[in-house]
Amino acid sequence: MNNVILGDEDGLAQWCLPYDDDKKSVGVICLDNNCIQKILLDFEVLIHASITVRERAVKYFDGISNYQNAISILRQQQEFTDEKIVQFQNYVDLWFQDWIALQGVEGCTSYTHLLSSGHMAEYMYKW
């Protein structure tokens, strides 16, 4: 994370995974938008480093690819055409199918609901 995604060999980042030694669990991860964008661009690196079951890794790769494509449409700096909005929602739908297969209903949040329900696409059409 510090020398490939958020930093490089010449300038290591100083990020630390919040980990609770007593509970033996990862804590809440809060990152700013710039960090999240960098992570999304290189998410495959994290998948390679952390997912050892090949079938799960493939699902994560497929899912993150569709998510990256959807978010790149969402972040565009021009008006959304109807075709782009449909393309955006198609990517989201493909991502969400993989996400549910990997995380189950426990992986559903307000954010996943906003995307998967079509609310964001509706906002894109309206505004």
DSSP state of 25: E
The pLDDT of residue 57: 93
Longest Cα–Cα distance of the chain, Å, equals: 51
Q: pTM of this prediction? A: 0.81
Give the pLDDT confidence of 32-75 residue by residue, as tens digits.
Answer: 888 988 898 898 999 999 999 999 999 999 999 999 999 999 99
User: In terms of C-beta density within 10 A (0-12 exposed, 13-18 middle, 19 or more buried), how is residue 20 classed?
Assistant: exposed
Residue 119 or residue 9, greater confidence:
119
How far is it, in rounded angstroms, from Cα 68 to Cα 18? Answer: 25
Phi, psi of 16 (to 5 degrees): -125, 135
Average pLDDT, the chain: 92
What is the three-class DSSP state of 111?
helix
The pLDDT of residue 33: 87
For the chain, what are the domain ranges? 1-41, 53-126
Q: Is the pLDDT at 29 greater than 90, yes or no? A: no
Q: Is the pLDDT at 91 greater than 90, yes or no? A: yes
Specify the length of the chain in residues: 127
The pLDDT of residue 95: 96
The pLDDT of residue 73: 96
The pLDDT of residue 9: 86
User: In terms of C-beta density within 10 A (0-12 exposed, 13-18 middle, 19 or more buried), how is residue 69 classed?
Assistant: middle
Amino acid at residue number 24: K
The pLDDT of residue 30: 87
